[in-house]
Structure 1
Amino acid sequence: MSQCKHLLRSVVRLSPPTGRPSPRKVACHRGPPRSWSLSSGTRHLRKLSSWAAPFLAENPPMPTLDRVALLLALMVIVGTVIAYRRRAETPDGFVRGGGRVPWWMAGSTAFMTQFSAWTFTGAAQKAYEDGFSVLMIFWGNALGFLLAALYFAPRFRRLRVSTYSEIIRMRYGRFTQLFYVVSQILLTLMTASIALYGVSLFLGAVFDVRVAFVTLAIGAVIICVTLIGGVWVVSANNFIQMVQLAVLTFVIGGFGLWLAADTDMSVVGDGRDFWIGGDDYSLGIMVVWSAAMLVKQCISINNATSSYRFLTTNGDRDARKAASLASILFVVGPVSWFIPPWLIGQAGIDLAALYPALGEDAANAAYVHFIRDFLPPGVLGLVVAAMLAVTVAPITTSLNRDAGVIISLLTPLLGASERLGQRLVAIGRSFGVLQGSIIVTLAIALGQVHHLSLFDIMVMFGVIFQMPLALPAMLSIARTGAPDWAGWGGVLVGILVTTSSYVWLDVEALGQWLGLPSIHPSQLVDIKLAVSLVLQVVSVVGFVYLARFVHAPPRSTARQAEVDELFARLERPVAADTTPDSGGPSRELAPRLVLCVALVSLLLAVLADTWLGAGFFMIVAVCQLVVSRLLKQ
């Protein structure tokens, strides 16, 4: 456990800087003032938040335009939830939208649920410090969704189930199903609380507000969406926020490139520092770590527990298109996301000097530093809204998935009645609210720990706990001949092997024994994660395939018929439902909601106090109008 404790002690938690010197400025980053400014009515926003004064830190608050931008973005979320709330009145509509969710909504959900706010904090830190290598995680997502489009997505859709737990039951039996349900719920609580804690750190620094207050505010949004929600609400909100996030980050990335071309700043470095991480870093270790991340993300995406992204689609073809959309977004999106921290890193801006309170983890502020110091007012508010989006989207999607599992488990146990559907939906919503409350509590508890590295803890947590659940679930549609007990047994083997290797494996001593060059301390965590992943994949896959030679009790006739039915369904494609009702409400509402988002950007352009700010928001609005027009067609 000493290595884990050392990892947790390696970084101080993010908190607002105090007494920082003036940051390096670029002369062109502010445009000339315009002839109009914010209306006096917007100044009342500060008064509306006066009740929260005990939670505020000593530093000045955000500019008013940023607060207006954040408020308008939150109103878009509320409008989306209200517009789609009636699509979740039946259990099937609540769990999987009746299998009628359009492919572009399902693809947006797949995209939005595969990352969280740590992308702009912990991952931005790695981009600032190590340069190019951070892209491997997100390009691993692109590769994973490409494999899904080619093989996994349509096959999971062919199983014709509502939840992942039904797939686990058909392949591994009821005991393994319950084992997965409990484990997945606990995993949701842990990963969601870490994600919520991460975005609370970010917003705490942006707003200069106590982390606990930010956690409670975001938790309230999550619980409200869950209380009203269902898969239509979640998917529609994911799509609208994806459009907003994608357009905003692309424009910010383009602004960064323009800034680099117009000044002496640079995005890409010339030496090994950018491409490998440092002059004394090992290229071999960087390649091994990158390959391990690609494999990890592919397994994480293409397993039964993640199949909910495709179970809602309207047939095989839509499942493929949804996965393809997510793959394309993960190829081009990460490049624009990390242009700001790359610029800050290549410019030699010393974030440790600017943010002394952050100590060795000052690079966590790379993205917010760029937004604050190089972009016009109002952009920070939209970035904060993006942070909310990438936090609320995966958490509410996971809560809806777990609520759907509870509904499917309780349906056979409750007697048939006229109000059975309403009771099941109410139970699902109540369970989601309970989970949301626990997540908020755990996130606040994490805030009491003063030493957390969000990047390393998220990756480490994924390798040690998520991967053992993913591997047997991925093999659930493969003809392994494994007995039922191999499902839960493989999970336990994976946790045991990975935890043992990660805690007790001395990579440096192993390298010396093999006669390898000394490993840079910063790369020890990377190689340890890679070694742990390799050991886990080999041990779990080998265990599942060889379990039948250890103990293979005969299945009952009914149980064997269930397994046979699973593999029979894999061979029967699902044709799209071509009835007029298919996706109708979503196709009418989505363009209007995107149009509302564009109008928000136009309003911010009007309220901007510089020509540069007005031009920035106009470009964002035009891109959003193009998306709205494409949806109408």
Structure 2
Amino acid sequence: MIVEWVIIGIYLVLLVIMGAWFGKLNTNTSDYFRSGQRGTWWLVGLSMVMAGTSTRTFTGNAGLGYEAGFTFLIIYWSGLLLLPVEYFVIAPMFRRLRATTSAEVVRERFGAGTEQLVAYLRVVTFLFFGGAWLWGLAIFISSVFGLPMVTMIVVLGLVVMFYSTTGGKWAVMGTDFIQGLIMISMCLLLGYICLDKLGGFSGMFQAITDAGLWEEFLPIKSDDMADELYGGKYQWRWIVALFISSAMWRFSMGSAERFFSVKHEKEAKKVVLVSLCATPLAAFYLIPDITARLLYSDQVSASLLSKPAESAFAIASINLLPQGLIGMMVIAMFAASMSSLDTGMNGNAAMIMKNIYPPLSRLFGKSIVSEEKQLFASKILSLILGAIIISVALYLSDMEGVGMFEILMDMNAILTPPILVPTMLGLFIRKTPKCAGLVSIVTGAIVGIVALVMAKMGMPWSYEQKVFIILGFSITAFLLTMPFYKRSSKEYLAQVDQFFLKMRTPIDFAKEVGEANDHQQLKMLGFFASCLGGFVLSLCVIPGNDMQGRIYIVALATMILMVGLPMLYLGRKKTREFELKHSQISKHNDANVLLPSKTEVK
């Protein structure tokens, strides 16, 4: 295991270097929070995929894959039904909002009161989710190395805290891209190794049949099986509730932040295509979980985790990966968690600085500090948020007998619906009064509190009941306010008109943002990806691996280099073209300055 720790240490050094390198691009809070709106579609797209792929994919969801089989794919692939709407409607509309935070969008639609409520709820909600993501990372690494859970949470949390303060949104997206290469390549490789071990897809299906697991692995469970084996989960009502909840999040103002960093509408639509291409990878996330169920169930059962099934992905990795690549898989899991935490910390720091801090300053009669001081304060906020997240993760890890997947589902069912309803419906239903958002959120929150009280009294609601009831009350409350729209002030009516006009107004990148820096992004990320590929290739010299293991290492390095080297070549080429173009412009301007005018000649 010493070799694996050395590999992880080298990787962390690379991340620190990348953070410092990308940090040079931050000159103000716009750069720090949304990369100056100059992000290319491939960079923003893969960063978005990574932000949505935390370690719960390989821990909490691994427990789902281990226990329920192909229901895992329903969760991931149902999102394909939403992509056409995202591509043609949502992505261009969200980019045209021209905002830094989602709460800023809420203010422009519903006013300052609703903005403040959403901002505070968003900060609190993220702290819970951030703690769960960190807990998931600790679950995986604790399973691999057998180290104490508490130690893992504290150490890993401190690492993420340190890194998240260095480079802002540029560093988040840049490291997400590199980490995405690692994670995707590692999952493809591990999936192939698992299939090779089982005899291909036909061998896997035959093994499932021989083990008598076909009925348990059906994508949608019968009511009887759901009640008997899964605590009422995974039947059609549960899946519909999950789909509706996911759709409302992707179409709400809170999700708009995914597109704030991209250059314009056309690139925003390409970001959606990146998600489309990444969706089939869910099959390779599931295969190791099924392999662990078929071949290593005794080892999984012996896990010391509160829910042993959540160690399935880790157990498959330990048994099948050659020396050196176990460390790379830990890196991939670290990458998945850190990308989620980085994105959330950056977004929450932006929420506090742009939405919570200004009203508080006005309330106490203070002036807004300079951009430079705001940038410094944003980094301090990241540290504070990180410390709170570590505390939440420690609390969650102490809950006996409860799995990460169940906790995240409960959070999604109770905390998010009240916010989702007005922030989605407000984008499409125009004639609502200023109070519509507040009334809807408060109503949903009250029903959520009722759900918690019922659970304490021993009468818990199922996941689908929470989703349907809370959403039902929130939507009803929102719609019942519509008759009061006619009583709205002229100022509010003009504000709503301006909001919907902005969503229809195309982006003029040259006028609104300025000059692109695509060549820098290509060159820098191509360089780091090539370095990473070369490092992975050097792992072939590690003793103890047979020829098959070395072939796997070469295959992993090849996948990374096939992306890194072309990017580096194109980046250098475009950099030369950019420098030549600006050199010619500079010479032309100098010539115009030096040449005498006609009046001077006369």
Instruction: Using structure 1 for the length normalisation, give the TM-score.
Output: 0.80
Residue 181 (structure 1) shift: 0.7
Partners of 1:426 and 1:420 lie apart in 2 by 10
Structure 1 residues 235, 262: CA separation in 2 closer, same or farther (over 3 Å shift)? closer
Bigger RCO (CA 8 Å, 6+ sep): 1
Partner of 1:446, secondary structure, is: helix
Deviates more, 1:539-548 or 1:611-620: 539-548
Matching residue of 2:102: 164
Partner of 2:98, secondary structure, is: coil
Counterpart AA for 1:153: A
Alpha-carbon contact 1:594-1:625 (below 8 Å) kept: yes
Alignment of 1:372-411 (within 5 A): 372-409=318-355, 410=357
Partners of 2:469 and 2:221 lie apart in 1 by 27
Partners of 2:14 and 2:205 lie apart in 1 by 33
Counterpart among 275, 300, 311 of residue 218 in structure 2: 275
Counterpart AA for 1:464: I
Alpha-carbon contact 2:220-2:234 (below 8 Å) kept: no
Alpha-carbon contact 1:340-1:366 (below 8 Å) kept: yes
Partners of 1:239 and 1:128 lie apart in 2 by 29
Counterpart among 421, 438, 444 of residue 494 in structure 1: 444
Matched, 1:600 2:535: yes
Partners of 2:472 and 2:386 lie apart in 1 by 36
Partners of 2:436 and 2:72 lie apart in 1 by 35
Partner of 1:376, secondary structure, is: coil
Matched, 1:609 2:544: yes
Structure 1 residues 608, 326: CA separation in 2 closer, same or farther (over 3 Å shift)? farther
Matched, 1:256 2:204: no
Partners of 2:453 and 2:88 lie apart in 1 by 37
Partners of 2:320 and 2:268 lie apart in 1 by 41
Partners of 1:546 and 1:225 lie apart in 2 by 46
Alignment of 1:225-264 (within 5 A): 225-261=163-199
Residue 312 (structure 1) shift: 0.8
Residue 463 (structure 1) shift: 1.4
Matching residue of 2:582: none
Counterpart among 530, 539, 564 of residue 473 in structure 2: 539
Alignment of 1:62-101 (within 5 A): 63-101=1-39
Partner of 2:99, secondary structure, is: coil
Alpha-carbon contact 1:480-1:545 (below 8 Å) kept: no
Residue 250 (structure 1) shift: 0.8
Partner of 2:506, secondary structure, is: coil
Partners of 1:263 and 1:101 lie apart in 2 by 39
Matching residue of 2:287: 339
Counterpart among 214, 218, 225 of residue 156 in structure 2: 218
Deviations 1:594-618 (A, max 9, x none): 1111112101122253222211111
Matched, 1:573 2:506: yes
Partners of 2:439 and 2:318 lie apart in 1 by 50
Residue 454 (structure 1) shift: 0.6
Residue 502 (structure 1) shift: 7.4
Partners of 2:315 and 2:382 lie apart in 1 by 35
Going by fraction, where is helix more abundant, 1 or 2? Answer: 2
Partners of 2:78 and 2:422 lie apart in 1 by 20
Residue 304 (structure 1) shift: 0.9
Matching residue of 2:583: none
Counterpart AA for 2:438: W
Deviations 1:64-102 (A, max 9, x none): 232233223223322321220111221211121111011
Residue 333 (structure 1) shift: 1.4
Partners of 2:372 and 2:216 lie apart in 1 by 58
Residue 488 (structure 1) shift: 2.3
Structure 1 residues 79, 147: CA separation in 2 closer, same or farther (over 3 Å shift)? farther
Matching residue of 1:559: 492
Partners of 1:261 and 1:373 lie apart in 2 by 16
Matched, 1:620 2:568: no
Deviations 1:339-362 (A, max 9, x none): 01112223473346543x457x32
Counterpart among 230, 245, 248 of residue 299 in structure 1: 248
Percent of paired sites with the same residue:
21
Counterpart AA for 1:626: M
Alpha-carbon contact 2:65-2:71 (below 8 Å) kept: yes
Partners of 2:453 and 2:78 lie apart in 1 by 25
Alpha-carbon contact 2:50-2:180 (below 8 Å) kept: yes
Partner of 2:481, secondary structure, is: helix
Q: Gaps (5+ residues) in structure 1?
A: 1-62, 510-523
Deviates more, 1:313-322 or 1:157-166: 157-166
Counterpart among 464, 488, 501 of residue 530 in structure 1: 464
Structure 1 residues 608, 314: CA separation in 2 closer, same or farther (over 3 Å shift)? farther
Alignment of 1:127-526 (within 5 A): 127-261=65-199, 266=204, 269-270=208-209, 271-276=214-219, 281=225, 286-329=235-278, 331-347=279-295, 349-351=297-299, 353-355=301-303, 357-358=304-305, 361-409=307-355, 410=357, 420-498=370-448, 500=450, 504=454
Matching residue of 2:597: none
Counterpart AA for 2:281: G
Counterpart AA for 1:324: L
Matching residue of 2:578: none
Deviations 1:516-575 (A, max 9, x none): xxxxxxxx98xx2123323333332232122123x5584443333222111001111224
Partner of 1:209, secondary structure, is: coil
Counterpart among 47, 51, 55 of residue 117 in structure 1: 55
Partners of 1:285 and 1:187 lie apart in 2 by 25
Residue 445 (structure 1) shift: 3.0
Deviations 1:223-260 (A, max 9, x none): 11222131111111111111110111011111111111
Residue 338 (structure 1) shift: 1.0
Alpha-carbon contact 2:66-2:289 (below 8 Å) kept: yes
Matching residue of 1:548: 482
Q: Gaps (5+ residues) in structure 2?
A: 228-232, 571-602
Matching residue of 2:581: none
Alpha-carbon contact 2:135-2:396 (below 8 Å) kept: yes
Alpha-carbon contact 1:140-1:298 (below 8 Å) kept: no
CA RMSD of aligned residues (A): 2.9
Partners of 2:205 and 2:315 lie apart in 1 by 16
Partner of 1:281, secondary structure, is: helix
Residue 282 (structure 1) shift: 6.0
Partner of 1:350, secondary structure, is: helix
Structure 1 residues 348, 389: CA separation in 2 closer, same or farther (over 3 Å shift)? closer
Partner of 1:452, secondary structure, is: coil
Instruction: Using structure 2 for the length normalisation, give the TM-score.
Output: 0.84
